[in-house]
């Protein structure tokens, strides 16, 4: 058993599954901490870690352009926007606000049941492995899509983010009425 593991390590076939497990844990654990954190600031920072791990999964799958876009758009833009909104909104980052309510105990059996159902259904199905071909030119096709038929959606998303940032600034600078 140890000899077979050592052969996998030396041949290089061990590193890909190990990298996947590390990046998967680096996505799932911070995602859970996003939900369970008491502070919005901490939740945003955990979301940054989860999104970076997702970018690593894209790179591991051979979609380097999507990994770079994940880092630029989500890690660089969305997280900065969330942190900007949290910092400028008064009282939104109160850590004394509880994150658990009485429905937590009802959600646990639902989540467990859904997990068992998903596991059962995925084990029942045969999942054939796809034939691996040479590396596809993902980057030119992605550039053609973003600058071709999807350019309007891309620009609308940037305008929506700009409006959200201006709205957060207006809300943060409004004088409280007494």
pLDDT at 66 over 60: yes
Assess if residue 127 is contained within a domain.
no
> Hey, how many other C-beta atoms are within 10 angstroms of the C-beta on 32?
11
User: Last residue of some domain: 72, 90, 108?
Assistant: 90
Cβ(33)–Cβ(46) under 8 Å?
A: yes
pLDDT of residue 154: 79
Assess if residue 96 is contained within a domain.
no
pLDDT at 33 over 70: yes
Identify the domain containing residue 64 by its residue range. Answer: 1-90
Cβ(93)–Cβ(41) under 8 Å?
A: yes
Assess if residue 95 is contained within a domain.
no
Average pLDDT on 23-35 reads 92
pLDDT at 3 over 80: no
Average pLDDT on 5-24 reads 76
Summarised one tens digit per residue, pLDDT across range 119-167 is 999 888 887 766 656 556 767 777 787 788 888 887 888 888 788 878 8
Q: Are 144 and 67 contained in the same domain?
A: no
Total of domains in the chain: 2
Mean pLDDT of the chain: 79
pLDDT band at 113 (very low <50, low <70, confident <90, very high): very high
pLDDT of residue 105: 79
pLDDT of residue 1: 47
pLDDT band at 101 (very low <50, low <70, confident <90, very high): low
pLDDT at 99 over 70: no
Q: Are 78 and 141 contained in the same domain?
A: no
Average pLDDT on 108-125 reads 90
Assess if residue 148 is contained within a domain.
yes
Instruction: Enumerate residues 6+ apart whose C-beta is below 8 A from 27.
Output: 50, 53, 54, 57
Q: Are 8 and 77 contained in the same domain?
A: yes
Q: Are 82 and 143 contained in the same domain?
A: no
pLDDT at 23 over 90: yes
Cβ(75)–Cβ(55) under 8 Å?
A: yes
The better pLDDT of the pair 34, 90 is held by 34
Summarised one tens digit per residue, pLDDT across range 87-98 is 776 655 555 555
């Amino acid at each position: 058993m140890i000899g077979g593991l050592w052969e996998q390590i030396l041949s290089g076939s061990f590193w890909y599954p190990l990298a996947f497990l590390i990046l998967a844990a680096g996505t799932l654990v911070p995602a859970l901490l996003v939900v369970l954190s008491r502070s919005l600031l901490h939740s945003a920072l955990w979301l940054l870690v989860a999104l970076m791990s997702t970018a690593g999964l894209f790179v591991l799958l051979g979609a380097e352009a999507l990994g770079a876009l994940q880092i630029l758009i989500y890690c660089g833009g969305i997280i900065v926007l969330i942190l900007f909104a949290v910092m400028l909104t008064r009282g939104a980052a109160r850590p004394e606000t509880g994150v658990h309510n009485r429905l937590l105990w009802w959600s646990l059996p639902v989540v467990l049941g859904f997990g068992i159902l998903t596991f059962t259904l995925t084990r029942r199905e045969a999942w054939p492995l796809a034939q691996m071909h040479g590396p596809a030119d993902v980057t030119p096709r992605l550039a053609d899509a973003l600058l071709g038929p999807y350019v309007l959606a891309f620009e609308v998303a940037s305008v929506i983010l700009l409006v959200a940032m201006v709205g957060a600034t207006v809300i943060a600078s409004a004088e409280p009425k007494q």
